[in-house]
A and B are shown apart, each in its own frame.
Chain A
Amino acid sequence: MSRQAGRGTESKKMNSELFTLTYGALVTQLCKDYENDEDVNKQLDKMGYNIGVRLIEDFLARSNVGRCHDFRETADVIAKIAFKMYLGITPSITNWSPGGDEFSLILENNPLVDFVELPDNHSSLIYSNLLCGVLRGALEMVQMAVDVKFVQDTLKGDSVTEIRMKFIRRIEDNLPAGEE
């Protein structure tokens, strides 16, 4: 079954509430299975990583972007094309570090956390940690090692959700994806 490159973003519409509820059920089940929040965060990151390494292929096939020449281009592509294609939102890019290797993505609204309120006993849970794993995994497949983490989260009372991405290095040798 071959894919047309110009299929565009309106290929399969799905109800966003079903998606949000599915993600919510996933996180609560993980919380029940692993008693402590740190383990849940790690698992979400691993799951995100596995999604990311596969998602990048779909993304490159559908969006037809060429190779990015620097990290700024990468940031633009992630915010304007990737997030728009998969989550329907366009985060803004701010807070570039002076060396140009770190930036922040600001999400006004995060579709994963519609209707969610974190209970008090899970205060250190990073609910959308899956997104960090996805970004990390996807960029690793295009030879960029990055560190992704949440610095602000609307679930914890902040006004926006902020994801900080830091470029670590370019991956020169093709390591097999045996990293967990």
Chain B
Amino acid sequence: MAVCIAVIAKENYPLYIRSVPTENELKFHYTVHTSLDVVDEKISAMGKALVDQRELYLGLLYPTEDYKVYGYVTNSKVKFVMVVDSSNTALRDNEIRSMFRKLHNSYTDIMCNPFYNPGDRIHSRAFDNMVNSMMMQVC
């Protein structure tokens, strides 16, 4: 389903980035990096309203000709960015939301691992398996 999934720390460096290996990975890194600007814009726009009404799911950040980029930010300013193929129109909004929810849950599980220092790159097998299951469907 997803073509690239990235977890970005609050200081805007990547904690985890994984893309479907058939494509040029650098292009995805660049896409994710540029999408961070859009994320920041959305956060600051919503932040002027009451903060507790802010939703975690940011929705479609921007569409390019091949891909659509979706974003999700947690209350600790950790961002999840997902790039999906534009041709995959069957993906609905609530499916994306549930994928982000799964990502968020796996991320909290990693945080609970006492051997993980917050701010390190993520090297967890369980997280890898979960991300692979979300990317597997792309042939």
Contact = CB atoms under 8 A, between A and B. Distances in A.
Contact of A17 (B112, B113, B126): B112
Contacts of B124: 117
Question: Most chain-B CB neighbours within 10 Å: which of A25, A27, A115, A122?
Answer: A115
Contact of B125 (A17, A20, A114, A117): A117
Contacts, number: 31
Task: Describe B's contact surface by its main secondary structure.
Answer: loop
Task: Describe A's contact surface by its main secondary structure.
Answer: helix
Nearest to B123: A119
B114 A114 contact: no
Contacts of A24: 112-115
Contact of A114 (B112, B115, B116): B112
B123 A21 contact: no
A21 B114 CA distance: 7
B25 interface: no
A28 B112 contact: no
A41 to B, nearest CB: 16
Interface string B101-126: 00000000110111110000001111
B118 to A, nearest CB: 13
A116 B123 contact: no
Interface residues of A, number: 15
Interface string A90-134: 000000000000000000000000111111001000000000000
Contacts of A25: 114
Contacts of A114: 112
Contacts of B109: 115
Nearest to B116: A117
A90 to B, nearest CB: 24
Interface in B60-110: 109-110
A173 B94 CA distance: 69
A119 B115 CA distance: 7
A24 B112 CA distance: 9
A16 B126 CA distance: 21
Interface of A: 17, 20-21, 23-25, 27-28, 114-119, 122
Query: Closest 9 A-B residue pairs measured CB to CB?
Result: A24-B114, A115-B112, A28-B114, A119-B115, A115-B109, A115-B113, A117-B113, A117-B124, A116-B113
Given A115-B109, A116-B114, 6 more contacts: A24-B112, A24-B114, A114-B112, A116-B113, A118-B115, A119-B115
